[in-house]
Structure 1
Amino acid sequence: MTQRILITGAAGGIGTLLRPRLRRPGRVLRLLDIAPLPPPQPGEAVELVHGSLTDPEVMDAACRDVDAVLHLGGYSRENSWRETLSVNIDGTHTVLEAARAAGVGRVVLASSNHAAGFREVADAGPGGLPADSPPRPDTYYGVSKAAIEALGSLYHSRFGMDVVCVRIGSCFERPADVRALSLWMSPDDGARLFEACLAHPAPGYRVVWGVSANTRQVCSPTEAAELGYLPEDDAERFAAELPPGEQHRYLGGPFTTTPLGIPN
């Protein structure tokens, strides 16, 4: 039986990294973005959908015959309040509503460490900051991620939808700075985590951290491990290559001093 997974924001950074890593026999990836998407490679089982996640008609069509949604779409940095509200918050509502109407039973939402960006790193303790630490957003972007977590909770409680919110630390091929040595999630570990979110028989509603098995971990690995996530990578192997720096006081690092509403 074919499994069909809709990925919003598939042309973005994380979507691009996950596309080859989520290929499986018997699985079709339905890729949606307003930006151009690379054409299918030989043997690649993908369906390309060009359109905006803020468009209810586009989302209704994209969710038909879908088994799960990985919602990665939206602004990934600070933007104006109007744009953040329209795309990240209202757009996520549009995605969830289309999934509900289509009978999609599982949605994985890309949240962010910036939903809790004003949590102090020193408060992590030996077990790390719990994944469901109450929001302390550091930007309008962080507010939008706290809001989509709340929307996910609502759609689980009201409609019984399984919703996993992944508070992503930093997902790139390699960590960019000293702060990322704590928060990095390798693309391979990102695929392992999203596979765990898709495979768990009944996750219900939960929030998990999206990070690798980093030596300088400040985020609790417990909640993601309960889904079956077993990270294999550690940012520490890049430490010697990075310029000197210090861990920020707050989890959100430089986002805590970013001017609000200014695109970056």
Structure 2
Amino acid sequence: MGMRVLITGASGVVGTLMRPRLRREGRILRLLDLVPPAPPEAGEAVEALTGSVTDPDLMARACEDVDAILHLGGISRENGWADILEVNIGGTQVVLEAARRAGVGRIVLASSNHAVGFRTVEPELPADSSPRPDTFYGVSKAAVEALGSLYHSRFGMDVICVRIGSCFERPPGVRGLSTWLSPDDGARLFEACLSCPSPGYRIVWGVSGNTRRIYSLAEAQALGYRATDDAERFAAEISGPAPTGDEAHYVGGPFCTTPLGEPN
């Protein structure tokens, strides 16, 4: 029987980028999203479920016979408090509880730099810096980390929270030259999270080895992650002004000035 990995939010930006990169011989990817995942390609071992991470019955089925979970599902930008609370915080608790009941021992939770968005920019910012969220979205990611800590401490589950910078095919603008996590490096990092023996509870930065990087790689490297990409190769192609004022001073960039509770 191969390893079965549940990916929530599998039709989202990061989930779509990770799906082909996390394929392995003998591995089954169970894909869950509100948007039905794309049909399997030839030879691709996938199982698809459609629905919300807030649905306990669906999550119970999704966690059956699963070895590990990559929890990417949720609202990925600022939004109204009620939706953020229900989907990002409530949904994560539903996922963790379903995993506990099913005996899933390894959970990787997608956190964000916005959990610490009001920390000032500094070289090698530690991955476990205490929360200073910049939005309701950032609050939800701090809560995701806290829930992961709770389920590790109470039930002994291995939980790794990845504070993702900006995971896209290319760095999104000038700020992205420091925050970018290349899709290939993202897959390398998630593989390290899935395979590291007995990690316990960890918080790591999800970032590539960028020349302009402000985030520490030490914590992710301790899991076995080795970044090979650098956003600097895109620098000449990226136009637009560099961040100024609070957007340059704080880790969260433009999220630190976006109106609270308004979709962005």
Give me the TM-score of the superposition, normalised by structure 1.
0.97
Aligned partner letter, 1:218: I
Instruction: Quote the residue 1:5 is aligned against.
Output: 5
Instruction: Quote the residue 2:190 is aligned against.
Output: 194
Q: Distance in 2 between matches of 1:100 and 1:165?
A: 17
Instruction: Quote the residue 2:47 is aligned against.
Output: 47
Instruction: Quote the residue 1:94 is aligned against.
Output: 94
How far does residue 245 in structure 1 lie from its aligned partner after superposition?
A: 2.7
Contiguous gaps of at least 5 residues in structure 2: none
SS at match of 1:16: helix
Q: Deviations over 1:9-61 (max 9, x none)?
A: 00000000000000000000000001121111110000000111100000000
Aligned partner letter, 1:138: D
- Give the number of equivalent residue pairs: 260
4+ runs of 1 displaced by more than 2 Å? 244-247
Kindly indicate whether residue 172 of structure 2 is the aligned counterpart of residue 176 of structure 1.
yes
Q: Deviations over 1:156-203 (max 9, x none)?
A: 000000000000000000001111111100000000000000000111
Q: Distance in 2 between matches of 1:176 and 1:235?
A: 10
How far does residue 244 in structure 1 lie from its aligned partner after superposition?
A: 4.1
Kindly indicate whether residue 63 of structure 2 is the aligned counterpart of residue 67 of structure 1.
no
CA RMSD for the aligned pairs? 0.7
Contiguous gaps of at least 5 residues in structure 1: none
Q: Deviations over 1:83-135 (max 9, x none)?
A: 000000000000000000000000000000000000111xx24xx00000000
Kindly indicate whether residue 25 of structure 2 is the aligned counterpart of residue 29 of structure 1.
no
Aligned partner letter, 1:143: V
Any residues of structure 2 matched to 1:1-264 within 5 Å, and which? 1-121=1-121, 124-125=122-123, 128-247=124-243, 248-264=248-264
Contact 2:36 2:48 in 1 (8 A): no
Aligned partner letter, 2:111: S
Deviates more, 1:174-183 or 1:186-195: 174-183
Contact 2:108 2:159 in 1 (8 A): yes
Aligned partner letter, 1:262: E
How far does residue 243 in structure 1 lie from its aligned partner after superposition?
A: 1.1
SS at match of 1:15: helix
SS at match of 2:249: coil
Q: Distance in 2 between matches of 1:159 and 1:193?
A: 24
Give me the TM-score of the superposition, normalised by structure 2.
0.97
SS at match of 2:48: strand
SS at match of 1:91: helix
Contact 2:55 2:94 in 1 (8 A): yes
Q: Distance in 2 between matches of 1:240 and 1:34?
A: 38
Q: Distance in 2 between matches of 1:41 and 1:241?
A: 33
Q: Distance in 1 between matches of 2:178 and 2:119?
A: 14
